Amino acid sequence: MANDKILSLGEAVHMVADEGCRLAFGGVTLYRRPMAFALALLARHSQESMPHDLTLLCFTAGLESDILVRAGMVSKVRTCYFGLDGFGLAPHFTTAVGEGAIEIIEETVIGTTEKIVPRLSKADIFGLVVDAVVEAPGSAWPTPCHPLYSHDSLATLEYTETAGSDSFPSLLATWCSRHGLDYPA
């Protein structure tokens, strides 16, 4: 990487347009969130009143996004989930939505589950935003679904070894078959 692309947080947050910028934040729920960057944006905003009118693009939005919502920096959020995982709803997001202060662009949600049960004691995705639920036992394979089954490392290794080869379509056909699906090899 060229040295001219290595910046401090302070320099990087000044790359964000003063108004109307779209930001995509990585991480999942409470894991690997860009907290330092969000806090640097907040510090810039507290000094300059910029950036503002942000649109956040997050697969899942968490603490870093809630901080920016609280500061009034966010006008739109495009996500399928905005919360704090096991710690409940994102409080500032919930308030802003209740007040109509931000626009929510929700994503069509289709949940797959190992088993449909009559009632959950805890739900991370609320029924209002769910368009469909599919019962598909073993549907996470070869990835893990704790505590039901572990990661199938050999299957993942086979995937990486066959990717780009003539045998890759055959591997996909085998995986589809394992999930009860047809796939022409």
Domain of 31, CATH number, reads: 3.40.1080.10
Chosen domain end from 72, 106, 140 = 106
Domain identity same for 53 and 64: yes
pLDDT per residue as tens, the chain (185 positions): 567 888 888 899 999 999 999 999 988 888 889 999 999 999 999 999 999 999 999 988 999 999 999 999 999 999 988 999 888 889 999 999 999 999 998 777 778 888 888 877 766 666 666 788 888 999 999 988 889 999 999 999 999 999 999 999 999 999 999 998 888 75
Query: What's the pLDDT at 159?
Result: 93
> Which domain covers residue 181, as residue numbers?
109-185
Of 69, 84, 106, the one marking the end of a domain is 106
- Pair type for strands 22-25 and 130-135: unpaired
d(CA 35, CA 171): 39
* In a shared domain, residues 116 and 185: yes
Q: Do 100 and 22 share a structural domain? A: yes
Please indicate, yes or no, whether residues 8 and 88 belong to a single structural domain of this protein: yes
What is the rounded distance in angstroms from the CA atom of residue 30 to the CA atom of residue 63? 7
* Site of tokens 């662009």: 105
Q: What is the pLDDT of residue 72?
A: 96
Dihedral sign from CA coordinates of 46, 57, 142, 122: positive
Q: Which of 93, 70, 73 is nearest to 83 (CA)?
A: 93
